[in-house]
Structure formats: structure tokens, C-alpha cells
Structure 1
Amino acid sequence: MMTTASIQRQTADRVRDTLERLIAERDVWVSTAHPEHGPHQVPLWFLWDGRAAWMCTSGTSVTARNVREEPRVRLALPDTFDVVLLQGEAEGFSAQDVPADAAQAFADKFGWDPRTEEGSYLYVRVVPKTVRAWRGEQELPGRVIMRDGTWLEQGPLANAPLKR
């Protein structure tokens, strides 16, 4: 593993930095698994609503199939130096059943509204139970910043409602 000259952040700083990234980032790697077909990983657009990550995929995709069979998922932001990993259970919503505020926020962020498309789409909501964040080897100790759905040190952005 490569070392860097970064300063080790305290837990509150990691929580703050993680929440800022969750709000700002566009893409997340979604890892799912199926009992018979094994693991699957795909990048998807996502929206952070202050408590959960929202993604949308074709209702017939491998990701949709997997979360229906096995809701445990892992999400990873696409940076191997500034690592953010979320683990939780996925909940699926059809385009007809998705909460309107979440679907509208998703459409506003990406300029694409799956509710207006032909074909079936599945909105996937993941409320994290565990979050890990680290920058470089020196931050591996203490990388868990959320446990059992609770941020270990609350910052001003933790559990904040979505701002539009």
C-alpha cells in the first residue's frame, strides 16, 4: 500500500468530509450478490438525501434482480485514495411507488426522470448501517465512522434533510 503525506483526520472530520462527498458526488459503485449467480458490481448515478443513497436502474437489470433476492449491498465512492464505503440493505421502489420527493430530487440532480420513460425502472434506496472512510494507510485505524446506523461523531451535516 502506498503511503502519503496526508494528515490523519479525527472522526468528526471524516464524518463531515464523507457527508460533503455524498452530497457532491455523482457516481457510486453498487455491489450486490445473488444466492445462485454470485456477486455483481456496477456504477450507478446516486443521490444522497441526508439519510440514504438513492439510485435507479432498469427493473430487469442484474442489480434489480439481486436486490430483490438479497437486499444486503455495499456502495463505494469512486476514489481509491479517499475511500468511502457504505453497507446497508436495499429497498426497491417501482417508478409508480417511489416517494415523489426522492424521485424529483433524483430528476433534478441528473436531468433524467425514469418515471417518464417506457419500460420498468427500480429506484433503490440504501440507508447505511455501516460507513467506513479513510485516506491512506495512516487512517486505517478508526475507519469506521458509522456503526449500526449511527454516525460515531455527529457533525452539522449528519442526518441533515435534503436541501434543494
Structure 2
Amino acid sequence: MDSKTEQRLQTERNIWLATNRADGRPHLVPVWFVWWNGRFYLGIQSGSVKAQNLARNPKVSLALEDGVRVVICEGTAVSLPSPISPELNQIFQTKYNWNFATDNEYDLLIQITPDKWLTWTGGDAEGNGGE
């Protein structure tokens, strides 16, 4: 992974998470995330559609919001046991001013290990440029 992509994963606020519903339809939502030690970390609600989908099928896709400098990741999700590590909690605190360790609503920590990356640079809104 190049340094620009790594930097974006550290600093971008949201990422789109795609999971699969029981009937096969995709479920796509923006979520907060942390990129740490080569993995994604998300805090979600244990009763959410995302959590139900991940319990059935841990395969996911993630995409940064930018449609010109595209970063897409396919990966495998696992739920991590509580409590969250102090170091990871501090990263969430610094990035979002969110203390995941004390949040009773968002009670499930998900770790996603990348399996495949897709990246490219497209043109601007007028169709100029691209690689």
C-alpha cells in the first residue's frame, strides 16, 4: 500500500461498509472506523442489521467516500471480546472524541482483516485526468 493510501486510512472520517443480508441483498452504510496495525476497527450496535449480517457472513467490502481517488477493500470481519484495548480506545478517542470503552449503545467491536485491495485514480468531476 502506498503512503498516500495509508495516510487516508488514518485520517478519513467515514468509510462505507457493505455486508450481506440473509436474502442476499447488500446492506451499505457509512461508519466511523480506525485503521490500526493493518486492520480496520468499527464500533457497532450488537442488535444492528450490520451485526446480524456479520454473524451470518463475515465477508465485507469497505470503500472510502472519495469517488475520484478510489480505495476499496474486501475483507473478513470478526467481533472482538470486551474490553477494548486502551491503545485502540485512545485512537477512537483522538479521532472522534468517542470513548468506545464507556459507550453502552455501541457495544460490539469489529475487526476487519483485508483480503484484497482495489485502488485507482479517476478524473475530476468534469472528466479530466485519471490514471
| Aligned counterpart, 2:126 | none
1:128 matched to 2:106? The reply is no
SS in 1 for 2:84: coil
1:30 matched to 2:39? The reply is no
Q: Please say which structure displays the higher CA radius of gyration.
A: 1
| Aligned counterpart, 1:111 | 97
User: Over aligned residues, Cα RMSD in angstroms?
Assistant: 1.9
Q: Please report how far the alpha carbon of residue 36 of structure 1 lies from its aligned counterpart in structure 2 after TM superposition.
A: 2.9
Q: Distance in 2 between matches of 1:22 and 1:49?
A: 9
Structure 1, residues 36-93: CA drift from partner, whole Å, max 9, x if none? Answer: 3621011001111030111111111111111111000000000111100001101112
5+ residue gaps, structure 1, are: 1-13, 140-164
Amino acid at match of 2:119: A
Q: Distance in 1 between matches of 2:37 and 2:11?
A: 12
| Aligned counterpart, 2:127 | none
TM-score w.r.t. the length of structure 1 is: 0.69
5+ residue gaps, structure 2, are: 124-129
Structure 1, residues 89-143: CA drift from partner, whole Å, max 9, x if none? Answer: 011125x24333223322232111232123451111111111111011753xxxx
TM-score w.r.t. the length of structure 2 is: 0.84
Task: Pick 1 or 2: higher relative contact order, CA cutoff 8 A, min separation 6.
Answer: 1
Amino acid at match of 1:102: L
Aligned residues: percent identity?
Answer: 30
